[in-house]
Structure formats: C-alpha cells, structure tokens
Amino acid sequence: MKNNTIISIQKESVLMMTEPKYDELEENNPHLDKDKPYPLSGLLVVDFTHVLSGPTCTRMLADAGARVIHIERKTGDDTRHMGPYIEDGSSEYFRICNAGKESIALDLKDPKDHALVEKMIAKADVVVENFRPGLMKRLGFGTDEMVKKYPKLIFASISGFGQYGPWSKQAAYDTIVQAVSGLMDATGTPDGKPTRVGTSVSDVVAGIMGYSADCTRCS
C-alpha cells in the first residue's frame, strides 16, 4: 500500500485512488446514490477503528449516508489479512466491516501525517475510535483536547470497560466481555463448561450502541 493511498471500499470492488485535497472535502458519502435521501447525509466521520466493534459502528454511519474516512496503519488494517478471501484476493471480513468507507494509510507518529489527520478532524462532525483507553491521548488526539479545540465535535470511544476506573486499561476482546458479563455461563449444555456464543455478539452490540449514541448526539 503506497503512502497516503486512499482505498474506497465498495460492495462491488476495491478502488485505488489518489489522495484527495482535504481542504476541499465534500461531506457526502461518494458511494451512495446522490438522488436518494439519507438521514446522515452531510456528516463527515473520521474513523480510527479496527477489527469489529468500531468498524461496525462506522459501517452503520456510512450506510446511513455519512462520509467515513477510515485511518489505517501503513501496513493496513489487521483484518485486511484475515480470511476468507474473495476472488480479487481481498478479505471478505474487512470488506463487510468497511463497505462504503474510504481508507487512508498513515503513520500517526509522523508529524506530516499527524497534521493531515488533525486537518480532517477540524472539518469532521464525528470521530470514532476503539483503541485501548489512553492511546488516542498519547497520539495527540485525546477526547478532552479535541472536544475543547473543536466544540461541535462528537467524539465516540468504544472500549470494554470504560475510559476511567480500575478496569479501564484492561484489554477487552469479545470473548473476555462474554465471560465477564456472564453470557458464557448461560450458553452451552446445563452440565457443561461456560461456552462462548458462536458469533462475536459483544463486539457487534458495542458497535450498534456506538452508532445509536452518535445518532442521538447528532440529532
């Protein structure tokens, strides 16, 4: 993946594009029918999410009409390398979670890329991230700093155990949340061991709740 390459994820294909001019960003999802009304048309979302919970949230925002720009690491999102793969060699998992978005590969520790991201945030209506609490602040994009700088910005953080408190720094994969919540104890046979629900329901529900919260604040 070339530096700062934009990858437009569509239902039909993955289209490689050159970097757009961010000072001329149009706040409309370029993948949707311009003649149809969408509830979140005109909304610009900067998406720092990865894996499933966050991408579920931002995929729903894109489906509802928002323009979503997905920030990926230089090597691409981890799920680009997760099977199953479709005919063109791309990850079906990644495409399902990121359809309707645009992606840009950046190094957030690089001053030039950092400035580019801040430029996008300055024009954005919503920022969504699902890193471990504290990482965004260390990168210079902490919630308090960004909201103070851009008062109209909606900043959504998805994490397993909240942004504050004794458990906030704990890693929270779907299986961990299922176990801690007691869901695994209600799954499986009556005399068997706690069993994980087949799908990553905790991640999906977290994404849906994030989407609902964003829509509530937008309204």
6-218 placed in CATH 3.90.1660.10: no
Residues annotated as catalytic are 203
Return the higher-pLDDT residue of 106 and 27: 106
Angle at 75 between CA 124 and CA 203, to 5 degrees: 60
Residue with token string 């849906």: 208
Beta pairing class for 6-9 and 14-17: antiparallel
Q: How far apart are CA 124 and CA 126, in angstroms?
A: 6
Domain boundaries, the chain: 6-218
Beta pairing class for 67-72 and 44-47: parallel
pLDDT-derived band at 30 (thresholds 50, 70, 90) equals: confident
Note the pTM of the prediction, 2 decimals. 0.86
On whether the CB atoms of residues 159 and 150 are closer than 8 A, the answer is: no
186 pLDDT more than 80: yes
Q: Is 43 in a helix, a strand, or coil?
A: coil
On whether the CB atoms of residues 166 and 137 are closer than 8 A, the answer is: no
Output the average pLDDT for the chain. Answer: 86
Q: How many CB atoms lie within 10 A of CB 15?
A: 12
93 pLDDT more than 70: yes
- State residue 25's pLDDT score: 57
Instruction: State the sign of the Cα–Cα–Cα–Cα dihedral 203, 120, 90, 35.
Output: positive
- State residue 7's pLDDT score: 47
Helix axes 201-218, 174-181, angle to 10 degrees: 90
Q: How far apart are CA 163 and CA 150, in angstroms?
A: 20
Total number of residues shown for the chain: 219
- State residue 183's pLDDT score: 94
Phi-psi region at 45: left, alpha or beta (left = phi > 0; alpha = psi -120 to 50): beta
Q: Is 179 in a helix, a strand, or coil?
A: helix
